[in-house]
Amino acid sequence: MKILITGAAGFIGSHTAERFKKEGHEVVGLDNFNDYYDLSLKKLNAKDLVEQGIEIMEVDLRVEESYQPLSTDFDFIIHFAAQPGISSSCTFEQYLTNNIIATEKLINFAHQNKGLKHFINIGTSSIYGLEATFPESVAPKPASNYGVTKLAAEQLVLAESRAKKMKASSLRLYSVYGPRERPEKLYTKLIACGFNNESFPLYDGSEKHLRSFTYVGDIVDGIVAAVNRHEKIDGEIINLGTEVEHTTQDGIDYVQGLMGKEIAINVIDKRPGDQWRTCAIIDKAKELLDYNPTTGLKEGLQLQIDWYKKNFL
Query: What does the pLDDT read at residue 235?
Result: 98
Query: What does the pLDDT read at residue 117?
Result: 98
Assess whether pLDDT exceeds 80 at residue 232: yes
Query: What does the pLDDT read at residue 87?
Result: 66
Q: For the chain, list the domains and their CATH numbers.
A: 2-173+215-242+282-293 (3.40.50.720)
Confidence band, pLDDT 50/70/90 cuts, at residue 244: very high
Query: What does the pLDDT read at residue 1?
Result: 96
> What's 273's DSSP letter?
T
> How many Å apart are CA 275 and CA 105, to the nearest integer?
30
Residue 175 or residue 272, greater confidence: 175
Query: What does the pLDDT read at residue 271?
Result: 75
- In this prediction, residues 140-154 reach a mean pLDDT of 96
- Start-to-end CA span in the chain (Å): 38
Confidence band, pLDDT 50/70/90 cuts, at residue 225: very high
pTM value?
A: 0.96
Query: What does the pLDDT read at residue 71?
Result: 97
The answer to whether the beta carbons of residues 157 and 123 sit under 8 Å apart is no
The mean predicted confidence, pLDDT, of the chain is 96
Q: What percent of the chain has pLDDT over 70?
A: 99
The answer to whether the beta carbons of residues 11 and 216 sit under 8 Å apart is yes
Strand blocks (E) in 86-180: 118-124, 131-132, 168-173, 176-177
- In this prediction, residues 176-183 reach a mean pLDDT of 96
The answer to whether the beta carbons of residues 123 and 168 sit under 8 Å apart is no
Q: What is the pLDDT of residues 18-46, one digit of tens each?
A: 999 999 999 999 999 988 878 888 999 99
**At residue 137, what are phi and psi to the nearest 5 degrees?**
-80, -15
> How many Å apart are CA 66 and CA 62, to the nearest integer?
8
